[in-house]
């Protein structure tokens, strides 16, 4: 269980910069940790960035990036995972900030790319960032939080009414070493099942949309999904057998400050444009356009997902910040799971100068202060 208290139970409610798809970089983000691979990748560096100092007087809206191309990675192909930074691209916010090209890699193998210098920014799970920061000795840093709430949802297929009905079935949260799989295991344990004996925990590539389809098709008995998937499951005889939301700063944007320290103007510009896109996304007047922009660029968004607009936004952090209390609790959970040493301090793995400057430039309160 996370240390945070449950927030509530789910009750159903210019030109585009060029896009270039890339594929492999190196090891998957979680397998790097499981295999202990990062420790052998480079020289340990004493990262000393102070996360809450400086930059508050910087007007990032006036900064133009000297780097015309940002090499960006995202591990999740789903529209909601890429929403803010894609809108910054599609709406021309990056281009306005001097970033003419987002060179995009759809891959979960981004940590070696960041460490080796072939990537600049990535969308990452925060727990994996912390583990990679601790294991590599590299100045891998969290720039801002993207999702600050976490759904613990298990979706199930037709014919599953109770947890006992899951016995002998197949459950997936994606990668076996991932947090979503850990959450599915916790849900099973909380409801009297042994995930190592009563069910088969299976890996599955891709995101939660794919898991929903696998549940409907009967390939999976149950799995990790999100609120937008409820209608699709119900329409096919399935349901959410468990759904609770917690305050957890679970995902964010990250960089390697070996690159960042040499390209501060690029990070100020990138973060300002991305956060500006979040403000646009959260404006109810832009709801239809927020979906049409993504659909026009090839994202598959079923109509029933659009009905979950408010629920989707509820998981996204509007200002990119977090409370120190929630991060303290999250980091303690990461320590408890053995992903980082017992003396790990999350403050050494964040650099909020660029977020704070963007917050000020956009008229938002500085958070965390």
Q: pTM for the whole thing?
A: 0.74
CATH number among 3.30.470.20, 3.40.190.10, 3.40.50.980, 3.40.140.10, domain 151-247: 3.40.190.10
CATH architecture of 6-149+248-361: 3-Layer(aba) Sandwich (3.40)
What confidence score (pLDDT) does residue 191 get?
97
- Distance CA(167)–CA(191), nearest Å, equals 12
Res 321 pLDDT > 90: yes
Token pair of 223, please?
């799995």
Res 38 pLDDT > 80: no
- Distance CA(52)–CA(365), nearest Å, equals 14
What confidence score (pLDDT) does residue 22 get?
34
What confidence score (pLDDT) does residue 57 get?
59
What confidence score (pLDDT) does residue 206 get?
81
Token pair of 207, please?
């995101």
How big is the chain by its Cα radius of gyration, in Å?
20
The tens digit of pLDDT for each residue in 3-33 reads 333 333 333 323 333 333 333 233 333 333 3
Domain map (residue ranges) of the chain:
6-149+248-361, 151-247
Q: What is the DSSP string of 283-351?
A: -GGGHHHHHHHHHHTT----HHHHTTHHHHHHHB-TTS---HHHHHHHHHHHHHTTSS-TT--GGGGB-
Percent of the chain with pLDDT over 90: 73
Percent of the chain with pLDDT over 70: 85
Residue showing tokens 């960035």? 49
Is there a shared CATH topology between the 6-149+248-361 domain and the 151-247 domain? yes
Residue showing tokens 């659009």? 306
Q: Which helix (H) or strand (E) holds 101?
A: strand 101-106
Average pLDDT value for the chain? 86
């Amino acid at each position: 269980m996370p240390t945070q208290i449950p927030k509530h139970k789910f009750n159903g409610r210019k030109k585009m910069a060029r896009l270039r798809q890339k594929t492999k970089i190196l090891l998957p983000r979680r397998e790097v940790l499981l295999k202990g691979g990062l420790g052998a990748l480079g020289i340990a560096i004493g990262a000393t960035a102070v996360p809450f100092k400086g930059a508050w007087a910087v007007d990032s809206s006036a900064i133009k990036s000297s780097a015309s191309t940002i090499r960006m990675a995202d591990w999740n192909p789903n529209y909601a995972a890429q929403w803010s930074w894609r809108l910054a691209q599609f709406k021309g916010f990056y281009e306005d900030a001097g970033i003419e090209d987002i060179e995009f890699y759809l891959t979960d193998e981004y940590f070696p790319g960041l460490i080796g210098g072939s990537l600049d920014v990535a969308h990452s799970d925060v727990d994996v960032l912390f583990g990679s920061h601790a294991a590599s000795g590299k100045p891998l840093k969290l720039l801002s939080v993207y999702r600050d709430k976490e759904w613990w949802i298990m979706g199930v297929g037709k014919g599953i009414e109770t947890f006992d009905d899951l016995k002998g079935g197949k459950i997936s949260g994606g990668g076996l070493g991932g947090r979503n799989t850990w959450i599915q295991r916790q849900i099973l344990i909380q409801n009297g099942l042994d995930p190592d004996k009563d069910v088969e925990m299976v890996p599955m590539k891709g995101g939660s949309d794919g898991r929903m389809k696998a549940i409907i098709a009967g390939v999976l008995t149950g799995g990790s999904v999100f609120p937008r998937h409820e209608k699709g499951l119900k329409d096919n005889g399935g349901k959410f057998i468990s759904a609770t939301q917690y305050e957890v700063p679970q995902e964010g944007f990250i960089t390697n400050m070996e690159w960042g320290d040499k390209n501060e103007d690029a990070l100020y510009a990138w973060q300002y444009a991305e956060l500006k896109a979040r403000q646009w996304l959260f404006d109810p007047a832009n709801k239809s356009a927020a979906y049409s922009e993504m659909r026009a660029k090839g994202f598959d968004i079923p109509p029933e997902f659009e009905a979950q607009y408010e629920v989707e936004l509820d998981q996204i952090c509007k200002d990119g910040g977090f409370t120190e209390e929630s991060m303290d609790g999250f980091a303690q959970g990461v320590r408890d799971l053995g992903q980082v040493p017992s003396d790990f301090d999350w403050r050494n793995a964040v650099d909020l100068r660029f977020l704070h400057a963007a917050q000020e430039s956009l008229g938002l309160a500085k958070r965390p202060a």
